[in-house]
Amino acid sequence: MRITCPICGARDRREFYYMGAAVALDRPVPEADAAAWNAYIHERDNPAGLTRDLWYHEAGCGAWLVVTRDTISHEVHGVTLASDMRAGG
């Protein structure tokens, strides 16, 4: 598997650390209710198809990345810097 890091280019998957669904970007406000926190911490979809994951280019540039990929075809549709996603939204 290869991931095209926006900074480093296409790299072997062994350079990356996998975290999980990009849901982790959307941290609730501190006052949010228990259901919101529970969803944020524990609830994950298991899609057959498009998924958005967080990967860390640990052995490379050190950037956290949002990778959009297809769990059926394994095609990677896009990779963006997580910090850009946050800055943009």
Partner 1 sequence: MRFAQGGLIDREAPVEFSFDGRSYRGFAGDTLASALLANDIRLMGRSFKYHRPRGPLTAGSEEPNALVTLGEGPGQEPNARATTCEVHDGLVARSQNRWPGLGFDLLGVNDWAAPFLGAGFYYKTFMWPKSFWERLYEPLIRRAAGLGSLSGVASAETCDKAFAHCDLLVIGAGPAGLMAALAAARAGADVILADEDTRPGGALLRESGEVAGQPGAHWAVQVSEELAGMDNVRIMCRTSVTGVYDHGTYAALERAAPATVRREGAATETFWRIVARRTVLAAGALERPVAFRDNDRPGVMLAGAVRAYANRWAVRPGRAVAVFGNNDSAHRTARDLMARGVHVCALVDARHGARTDLDLPFFPGAVVSRAHGGRRLEAVDIRMPGRSLRLRADCLAISGGWNPSVHLTCHLGARPVWDADLVAFLPGAGAVPGLDVAGAASGVFSTAGCLESGWHAGMAAARALDLKPVEAAIPKAEDGHYDIVPLWAVPGKGRAWVDFQNDVTVKDVSQAAQENFRSVEHMKRYTTQGMAPDQGKNSNVVALAVLADATRDGIPETGTTTFRPPFTPVSIAAMGAGAQGMGFAPRRLTTSHRVSLRRGAPMLEVGLWYRPSHYPRVGEATWRESCDREARMVRESVGITDVSTLGKIDIQGPDAARFLDFVYTNRFTTLAEGRVRYGLMLREDGHVMDDGTTARLGPEHYLMTTTTAAAGQVLRHLEFVHQCLCPHMDLRLISVTEQWAQFAVAGPRASALLEEVLQGPLDLPFMGCRAVSMGPVGARLFRISFSGEQGYEIAVPSRYGEGLFSRLVDRAEALGGGAYGMEALNVLRIEKGFITHAEIHGRVTAFDIGMAGMISKDKDCIGKAAAARPGLLGAEREQLVGLRPVKSGAAILAGAHLFEEQAEAISRHDQGYVTSTCHSPALGDTLALGFLRNGRARHGEVVRMVEHLQGVETLCRVSDPLAFDPAGGRMRD
Partner 2 sequence: MIDLVAKSPCADLLPLDIGTVTLTEVGPERMTSLAPYRGREAALATVLKQAHGVTWPAPNRATGRDGARALWFGQRMALLVGPAPDARLAAEAALSDQSDAWAVVTLTGPGARDVLARLTPLDLRPDRFKRGHTARSDLRHMMASITRLGADRYRIMVFRGFAETLVHDLRAAMERVAAR
* Site for partner 1 contains 44 (CB under 8 A): no
Q: Are 44 and 54 in contact (CB under 8 A)?
A: no
How far is residue 66's CA from residue 72's CA, in Å, rounded to a whole number? 18
Instruction: Give 82's contacts (C-beta < 8 A, 6+ positions apart).
Output: 22, 25, 54, 63, 64, 65, 66
N-term to C-term CA, the chain: 29
Among 1, 14, 42, 46, binds partner 2 (CB under 8 A): 14
Residue 41 contact, options partner 1, partner 2, none, Cβ 5-8 Å cut-off depending on partner type: partner 1
| Number of residues that make up the chain | 89
Position among 23, 24, 36, 61 found at the interface with partner 2 (CB under 8 A): 61
Q: Which does 60 bind (CB under 5 to 8 A by kind): partner 1, partner 2, none?
A: partner 2
Q: Is 88 a residue that touches partner 2 (CB under 8 A)?
A: no
Figure out which of the listed residues 7, 8, 21, 24 binds partner 1, where binding follows CB under 8 A.
Answer: 24
Distance CA 51, CA 75 (A): 11
Footprint of partner 1 (CB under 8 A): 1-2, 10, 12, 17, 19, 24-25, 27-28, 30, 32, 34, 37, 40-42, 54, 56, 58, 62-64, 74-76, 81-83, 86-87
